């Protein structure tokens, strides 16, 4: 469910017509709904009721300061994977005690930043990394809570580029080596082993891979406790998918996911952390674009938009589907026309959809890409020297620009010409 609906024939974000926002900020732009962000966060929080738990938003999904500040106000923790994301979370008012630092390649500088600013735990991914963290913590005279990310070798049944829990993936340590790796971590000064971390992938549409992974984690918890480790926290990652294509089979609901966690892990008496990003932010955002031209090609028609792959890269990178709808509500049962929906970037890969049935559209019409709130603006670039797309946040009948579109001068002036040129 989201809060982007037609009212009086116009697509609204909550109580604001998207066309009204377009008139002020131009297109393309991203728009987020606070009501949807809140609803989805609370669904996860309620799904774990009865368990000692924390819902940590995956900052990589949508890192705008306004979004992070809003979620922090609801009680969300944050899962970060870089020093920049850590700094964003702290700037949004999130205390270190609610920040989990994940990621496969943390640097010494990033470790020091987290230990100086405070961190709930560091999720370690390799023996070399734990040795470096031990050295940094010892130099600083502190002890840091850590988990070790285990790779359970479970097929997440998702896109290959966002699967993270199979044996060949770069993440974590093989679960078969967990006992020796945990023993090594326990011997290192400055580290306090508190739990287990697992994350098998993103955009999962079936609970069975989660269940298989969590059963392995439960078994490992009992084994590590028998070895003398005080395992009190299980970080289960994120990954629950969203329905990008309306009308198809919907992924499991947070309440179903929570029920499965209760079934598999409640008896261990551990604190549970989950790190949703996509399901919290995905359907909370749309990208709005304008039609520049309608072009007739050989056996197909092209809808050329002012948005491009640099603004929303998911279709080019993952062959991802986004529902595309006009801002003006089409008549029920009206004619449909098949378009290849493309952007202006000089690459064939700058294609959002092929032969997509849409109402007949003309230059100047506007469309919205649904499900664009996660891995949308946060992955945007200035390829082809196209300014970063602006972001807008809506609450009820109010909206605010939370990241402005830079001018060409602002974009160009970030470059520096050396004096010898």
Residue 201 to residue 187: CA distance in whole angstroms: 30
Residue that the structure tokens 């019409």 belong to: 365
The CATH number covering residue 260 comes to 3.20.20.10
Do 288 and 216 belong together in one domain? no
pLDDT band, very low/low/confident/very high, at 366 (cuts 50, 70, 90): very high
pLDDT tens-place string over residues 303-343: 999 999 999 999 999 999 999 999 999 988 889 999 999 99
399 sits in which H/E element: strand 398-403
Residues 261 and 301 in one domain: no
Q: Is residue 84 part of a domain?
A: yes
Residues 217 and 341 in one domain: no
Q: How far is CA 72 from the centre of its chain?
A: 16
Q: Is there a domain that residue 420 lies in?
A: no
Final residue belonging to a domain, choices 222, 248, 280: 280
CA separation for the pair 77, 281 (Å, rounded): 15
Does one domain contain both 384 and 363? yes
Percent of the chain with pLDDT over 90: 87
Which one of 280, 295, 314 terminates a domain?
280
User: Active-site positions?
Assistant: 346
CATH of the domain at 386: 2.40.37.10
Mean pLDDT, residues 151-155 taken together: 80
In a domain, 263, yes or no: yes
Residues forming beta bridges with residue 151, ordered by sequence position: 174
Both 286 and 265 in a single domain? no
Round the average pLDDT of the chain to a whole number and report it: 94
For residues 220 and 348, membership in a common domain is answered with: no
Residue 421 lies inside a defined structural domain of this protein = no
Do 349 and 333 lie in a common domain?
yes
- The C-alpha atoms of residue 403 and residue 102 are separated, in whole angstroms, by 26
Same domain for 231 and 371, yes or no, is: no
Say which residues have a Cβ less than 8 Å from residue 243's Cβ, sequence separation at least 6. Answer: 250, 251, 283, 371
Cα dihedral: 285, 291, 297, 301 (round 10):
60
Query: Nearest 5°: phi and psi at 132?
Result: -65, -45
Would 418 be classed as within a structural domain? no
Rounded to an integer, the average pLDDT of 151-166 is 56
**Which of the given ranges, 144-158, 189-203, 234-248, has the highest pLDDT on average?**
189-203
What percent of the chain stands above pLDDT 70? 95
Asked if residue 314 and residue 259 are part of one domain, the reply reads no
Q: 408 CB contacts (<8 Å, ≥6 apart)? A: 385, 387
How many CB atoms are closer than 10 A to CB 239? 28
CA dist., res. 136 & res. 139, Å (int): 5
Q: Are 253 and 346 in the same domain?
A: no
Range of the domain at 318: 4-31+282-412
Residue the block writes with tokens 């496969």: 104
Overall number of domains in the chain: 2
Residue 404 belongs to a domain: yes
pLDDT of residue 410: 97
Which residues, listed in sequence order, are joined to residue 30 by a DSSP beta bridge? 287, 391
Mean predicted confidence (pLDDT) in 146-170:
64
**Residues 267-301: pLDDT tens digits?**
999 999 999 999 999 999 999 999 999 999 888 89
For residues 50 and 17, state if they share a domain. no
The beta-strand segments (E) located in 34-168 are: 53-58, 77-80, 99-101, 121-124, 144-151
Strands 301-305, 337-342: pairing kind: parallel
Same domain flag for 273 and 310 = no
Lowest-pLDDT range of 55-59, 180-184, 243-247, 292-296:
243-247
When pLDDT is averaged across residues 129-137 and rounded to a whole number, the result is 98
Q: Contact 38/256 with Cβ under 8 angstroms?
A: no
State the pLDDT at residue 162. Answer: 41
Query: What's the full length of the chain, in residues?
Result: 421
Question: Which of these three, 280, 297, 330, is where a domain ends?
Answer: 280
What is the pLDDT, as a whole number, of residue 385?
97
The separation between the first and the last C-alpha atoms of the chain, rounded to the nearest angstrom, is 56
pLDDT bracket for residue 166 (50, 70, 90): very low
pLDDT for 163 equals 45
What tokens does 46 get? 């309620």
**Strand ranges inside 223-369, DSSP E:** 233-235, 271-274, 285-296, 301-305, 324-326, 337-342, 351-358, 366-369
- Per DSSP, 204 falls in state B
Let me know if residue 417 belongs to a domain: no
Model pLDDT, residue 244 = 82
pLDDT tens per residue across span 231-260: 999 999 998 888 887 766 688 899 999 999
Give pLDDT, residue 165: 40
Give Dmax (Cα) for the chain.
Answer: 70
Q: Is the pLDDT of residue 42 over 60?
A: yes
């Amino acid at each position: 469910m989201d809060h982007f609906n037609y009212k009086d024939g116009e697509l609204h974000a909550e109580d604001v017509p998207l066309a009204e926002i377009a008139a002020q900020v131009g297109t393309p732009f991203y728009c987020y709904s606070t009501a949807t962000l809140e609803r989805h966060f609370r669904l996860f929080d309620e799904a774990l009721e009865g368990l000692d738990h924390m819902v940590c938003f995956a900052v990589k999904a949508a890192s705008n300061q306004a979004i992070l500040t809003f979620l922090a106000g609801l009680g969300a923790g944050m899962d970060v994977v870089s020093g920049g994301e850590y700094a964003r979370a702290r700037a949004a008012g999130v205390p270190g005690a609610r920040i989990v630092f994940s990621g496969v390649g943390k640097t010494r500088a990033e470790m020091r930043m987290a230990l100086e600013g405070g961190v709930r735990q560091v999720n370690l991914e390799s023996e070399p990394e734990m040795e470096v963290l031990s050295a940094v913590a010892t130099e600083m005279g502190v002890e840091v809570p850590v988990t070790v990310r285990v790779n359970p070798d479970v097929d997440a049944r998702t896109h290959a580029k966002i699967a993270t829990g199979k044996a060949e993936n770069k993440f974590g340590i093989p679960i078969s080596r967990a006992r020796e790796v945990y023993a090594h971590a326990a011997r290192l000064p400055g580290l306090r082993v508190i739990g287990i971390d697992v994350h098998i992938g993103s955009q999962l549409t079936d609970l069975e891979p989660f269940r298989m992974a969590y059963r392995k984690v439960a078994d490992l918890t009992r084994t590590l406790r028998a070895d003398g480790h005080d395992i009190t926290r299980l970080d289960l990652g994120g990954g629950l998918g969203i329905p990008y294509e309306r009308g198809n089979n919907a992924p499991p609901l947070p309440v179903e996911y929570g029920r499965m966690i209760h079934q598999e892990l409640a008896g261990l008496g551990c604190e549970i952390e989950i790190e949703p990003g996509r399901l919290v932010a995905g359907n909370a955002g749309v990208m709005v674009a304008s039609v520049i031209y309608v072009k007739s090609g050989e056996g197909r028609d092209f809808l050329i938009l002012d948005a491009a792959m640099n603004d929303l890269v998911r279709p080019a990178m993952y062959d991802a589907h986004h529902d595309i709808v006009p801002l003006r509500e089409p008549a029920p049962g009206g004619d449909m026309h098949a378009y290849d929906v493309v952007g202006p970037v000089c690459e064939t890969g700058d294609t959002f959809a092929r032969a997509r049935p849409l109402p007949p559209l003309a230059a100047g019409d506007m469309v919205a890409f649904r499900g664009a709130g996660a891995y949308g603006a946060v992955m945007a670039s200035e390829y082809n020297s196209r300014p970063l797309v602006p972001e807008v946040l809506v609450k009820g009948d109010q909206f605010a620009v939370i990241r402005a579109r830079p001018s060409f001068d602002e974009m160009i002036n970030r470059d520096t010409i050396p004096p010898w040129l």
